[in-house]
């Protein structure tokens, strides 16, 4: 039987305005970076999508190279959209990106007009969609003129293949330059996607967070749990089935030093005092000041999605709690 969404799906989580645009995003969004490639179980992917949407998570975030194999996350979501979610297309925000290595040769990478437009055409085929809601340039390109990359984004919107555009992994200075070009092109640039967590404050240090707020642009934070370090998973060392052991590409065992494990335990104690799990507190911390529009979670089990949504029950921190987190 075809999936039918929970009728009360819009009663669970808040929606935040993305910068000063008309678009509202759920406070928690579902990322397809892991667990949606060809090595994952298709039935489980469906359950993850259904659990998310049944609880008001309307935003699914992808990129051309998410897999493994690159492209397979888009292809798998395309099947789920066609078979199960087609009736809900207009209730979903689907985003994808281009900027990292995708196919051989000089036109499958970085930020040229050639690459971005070709890549999105491929993504739309895999997704089985006429357009995506948000299309991102995935990383700064030191060699392609910024104007060319931004003009390609504007052309993509004019062609109807994306409704809004975003920038990912940019710093504050480049964001300001890109925004000036996109404004001149009347291109609806509304969002920045960057890594951000209690352990990774890069967007505070490189001016991105401050600049986005000043320019009234949204921010969506990826790796908010620092690849699982900001959960109870590593409180007592490294479990055998953890991603470090099974797939060491993104989190290396060397990252979990004694000092880091000590920080994790102290943060876990503070979370317990707040009546939260460490993961809940880590997600709440990102949303604490209203500058970040949405946090991007990954999940391998439906229960993880439900656990992460609980973070929204308390995103308020006292000055003292924030001081302790910084000190740790």
**Within a 10 A sphere around the Cβ of 25, how many other Cβ atoms?**
24
Give the residue among 196, 140, 194, 130 at the shortest CA–CA distance from 163: 130
- Average pLDDT rounded to a whole number, residues 27-43: 97
Instruction: Please check whether residue 27 lies inside any domain of the structure.
Output: yes
Instruction: Please check whether residue 9 lies inside any domain of the structure.
Output: no
Residue-level pLDDT at 84: 98
Tell me whether strands 24-26 and 15-17 are parallel, antiparallel or unpaired.
antiparallel
Instruction: Please check whether residue 3 lies inside any domain of the structure.
Output: no
Under 8 Å between Cβ of 179 and 189:
yes
Instruction: Please check whether residue 177 lies inside any domain of the structure.
Output: yes
User: What Cα–Cα distance (Å) separates residue 103 from each residue in 39, 97, 99, 151, 302?
Assistant: 20, 14, 11, 22, 32
CATH code, domain carrying 263? 3.20.20.100
- Average pLDDT rounded to a whole number, residues 220-233: 96
Instruction: Please check whether residue 10 lies inside any domain of the structure.
Output: no
Q: What range does the domain containing 56 cover?
A: 15-327
First to last CA, the chain: 50
Query: What is the DSSP track for 14-60?
Result: -EEE-TTSS-EEESEEEE-SSS-STTS-HHHHHHHHHHHHHTT--EE
- Average pLDDT rounded to a whole number, residues 67-82: 98
pLDDT in tens, 260-286: 999 999 999 999 999 999 999 999 999
Under 8 Å between Cβ of 211 and 247:
no
Under 8 Å between Cβ of 61 and 95:
yes
Q: Which two tokens stand for residue 251?
A: 């989190």
Instruction: Please check whether residue 6 lies inside any domain of the structure.
Output: no
pLDDT in tens, 45-57: 999 999 999 999 9
Judge whether residue 204 has pLDDT over 90.
yes
Q: Name the domain count of the chain.
A: 1
- Average pLDDT rounded to a whole number, residues 138-164: 98
Judge whether residue 81 has pLDDT over 90.
yes
């Amino acid at each position: 039987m075809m999936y039918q969404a929970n009728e009360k799906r819009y009663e669970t989580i808040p929606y935040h305005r993305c910068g000063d645009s008309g678009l509202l995003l759920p406070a928690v969004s579902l990322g397809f970076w892991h667990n949606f490639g060809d090595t994952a179980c298709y039935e489980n992917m469906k359950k993850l999508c259904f659990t998310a949407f049944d609880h008001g998570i309307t935003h699914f975030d992808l990129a051309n190279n998410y897999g493994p194999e690159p492209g397979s996350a888009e292809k798998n979501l395309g099947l789920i959209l066609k078979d199960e979610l087609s009736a809900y297309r207009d209730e979903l925000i689907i985003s994808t990106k281009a900027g990292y290595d995708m196919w051989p040769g000089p036109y499958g990478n970085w930020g040229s007009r050639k690459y971005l437009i070709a890549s999105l055409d491929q993504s739309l085929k895999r997704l089985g969609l006429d357009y995506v809601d948000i299309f991102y340039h995935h990383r700064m390109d030191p060699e392609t003129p910024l104007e060319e990359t931004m003009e390609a984004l504007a052309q993509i919107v004019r062609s109807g293949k994306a409704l809004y555009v975003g920038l990912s992994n940019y710093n504050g200075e480049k964001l300001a330059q890109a925004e000036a070009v996109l404004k001149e092109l009347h291109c609806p640039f509304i969002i920045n996607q960057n890594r951000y967590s209690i352990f990774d404050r890069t967007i505070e240090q490189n001016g991105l967070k401050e600049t986005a707020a000043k320019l009234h642009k949204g921010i969506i934070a990826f790796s908010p749990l620092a690849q699982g370090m900001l959960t109870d998973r590593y409180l007592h060392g490294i479990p055998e089935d953890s991603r470090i052991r099974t797939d060491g590409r993104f989190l290396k065992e060397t990252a979990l030093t004694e000092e880091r494990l000590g920080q994790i335990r102290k943060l876990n104690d503070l979370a317990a005092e707040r009546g939260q799990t460490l993961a809940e507190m880590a997600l709440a911390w990102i949303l604490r000041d209203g500058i970040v529009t949405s946090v991007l979670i990954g999940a391998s089990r439906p229960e993880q999605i439900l656990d992460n949504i609980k973070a929204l029950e308390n995103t308020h921190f006292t000055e003292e709690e924030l001081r302790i987190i910084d000190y740790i």
